[in-house]
Chains A and B, each alone.
Chain A
Amino acid sequence: MKIYLDNAATTKLDGQVRKAMLPFYKEKFANPSSIHFSGQKNNLILEDSREKIAKNLDTTSDRIVFTSGASEANNFIIRGVMEANQDKGKHLIISAIEHPSVYDLAKDLKKRGFDVDFLPINNKGIVEVDKFKKLLKKDTVLVSIMAANNEIGTKQPIEELIKLTKENGSYFHSDLVQAIAYEDISIDKLNLDFASISAHKFNGPTGVGIAIINPKIKINPLIIGGGQEGDYRSGTYNLAGIVGLSKALEISCSQRKENRKKVKEVRDYFLKQLKKEIPDIKINGCLKRRLPNNLNIRFEKIEGEAILIELSSKGIEVSTGSACSALNLKSSYVLMALGLKDEELNSNIRFTLSKDTSLADIDYTITNLKKIVKRLKSFSPIK
């Protein structure tokens, strides 16, 4: 028995996507930059993939730069824009709960002399527009705020934030990694300058992603070399990955509405059963303004990693923000930003569902979770 509830970490590769990718690991291996016919045939496939992706994101293909994933896209965009636009200023705003590929990068830029502000979240896990307004400055170059968070799934009011940012004459970037599978996102309608996407979060392959750029805005490349992607990103094309990303996005977008509804129903059932079967649980972050596949739950008086390991011994796979599970033994900064007290930080489990999660999976999870919580509580010293 295996029940995978860690879909915010990565998702299962879709069978159709795998099938679409295989020829590029077999006979269609040519480099799309090569001039011979095999190379140029692949070049057409590369550009066709780009067109399809652009259409599904409701933007134009000249805005799509392929990368190795969203970490690279985030690094490329934020560092590239901040470094290339120093005539505009040195000020960057990010939220306090960005993914480490934004958060730690911003800290690095701060060390290198850039002026960085971290926009806090409220106790619901959402940034406040009024606080944001106060942070905008004349020399604000870029604002980077994710559409939805990877730990607590909360959704940020990016439409409003984009509007204010534009009025201020600054640029806006959004990490769309977690949102893309469930939220209707039109890059052009949102008036987004920059965005990051990663294929492996919507049943595509790992190691491939997209940086959405605005060709009118100056940006420095992160990887310099052979000049692929219009010099924005050098490196031989990962064509199998790009084809896989394109296919996965196509499937994901065509099923988005249906998946959103289905996943939310299962998630809501999960929460209902949790509340019924396990006393004293708390939900971290706003339930309403949250991705439909996310539940981040606090279990009082017991430690998160212990819950995770015992669930894993039953074939149920989740993740935790507990210090005990981190290499640096630090609790999740996202949960800290939510305002959790010290003694609350290490008792949290993130469940992230997929379109394949069934009610039976949830029943099995609840049955086991109930036993596990009871056992761990039975010897907790915390009264």
Chain B
Amino acid sequence: MSLNYTKKTLDYFLKPKNIGEIKKPDASATIGNMVCGDQLNFTMKVEKGKIKNIKFLSFGCASNIATASVMTQAVKGKTIEEAKKLDWHDIVKDLGGLPQQKVHCSVMAIDGLKKLIKDYEKKLKK
């Protein structure tokens, strides 16, 4: 089986970005993958329509941790509308590619982001 991670993916796995949990977040979301059993928890702080801070916890493999790192790095400081435009292809590209069976990990990170934004918008309406 080919499971060659790029150096960048390994770096993000070994030194992940935005690890942790924000206290009193403006939104939170948990996403799991029924296929591989992995799980990501996101928390986010929003200020003036911009993502001020975003953090994650992971029960997952190297690419799960790396893709969540890239995703959170990419949306930090962006407006909610800008964040909505982030696509899993962007994550794969940023990492210099992912093994084929690992592409779904990037999709999971994006799904987590969508769920997080939905939670934020729901709370905003209240």
Contacts and interface: CB of A to CB of B under 8 A. Distances in A.
Q: Say whether A associates with B.
A: yes
Interface in A270-329: 301-306, 309-310, 313, 322-327, 329
B39 interface: yes
B37 A343 contact: yes
Interface string A126-138: 0000000000000
Contacts of A326: 1
B57 A379 contact: yes
A6 to B, nearest CB: 14
A303 B60 contact: yes
A380 B56 CA distance: 9
A185 B101 CA distance: 41
How many interface residues does chain B have, given as a range?
20 to 34
A327 to B, nearest CB: 5
B86 to A, nearest CB: 22
Given A313-B14, A342-B37, A306 B62 contact: yes
Contacts of B59: 301-303, 380-382
Contact of A303 (B19, B35, B56, B61): B61
A304 B60 CA distance: 8
B38 interface: yes
Contacts of B1: 326-327
A343 B10 CA distance: 25
B112 to A, nearest CB: 11
A43 interface: no
B96 interface: no
Interface residues of A, number: 26
B20 interface: yes
Given A309-B10, A313-B10, A323 B58 contact: no
B58 A309 contact: no
Contacts of A95: none
B37 A305 contact: no
A303 B62 CA distance: 9
A381 B37 contact: no
B36 interface: yes
Contacts of B13: 306, 309-310
Contacts of A331: 37
Contacts of A380: 57-59
A379 B58 contact: yes
B14 A306 contact: no
Contacts of B61: 303-306, 309, 322, 324-325
Nearest to A375: B14
A329 B10 contact: no
A305 to B, nearest CB: 4
B72 interface: no
A329 B36 contact: yes
B80 to A, nearest CB: 23
Contact of B14 (A310, A324, A381): A310
B60 A306 contact: yes
Contacts of B56: 379
B41 interface: yes
Given A313-B10, A380-B59, A381-B57, A324 B64 contact: yes
B41 A381 contact: yes
Given A303-B59, A306-B13, A380-B57, A325 B37 contact: no
A124 B74 CA distance: 47
B16 interface: yes
Interface string B2-31: 010100001001101001100000000010
Contacts of B3: 325
Contacts of A325: 3, 61
Nearest to A343: B37
B21 to A, nearest CB: 8
A329 B62 CA distance: 14
Most chain B beta-carbon contacts within 10 A, residue among A301, A305, A324: A324
Given A324-B63, A343-B37, A378-B19, 14 more contacts: A303-B38, A303-B61, A305-B62, A306-B13, A306-B60, A313-B10, A322-B61, A323-B37, A325-B3, A327-B101, A379-B16, A379-B57, A380-B58, A381-B59
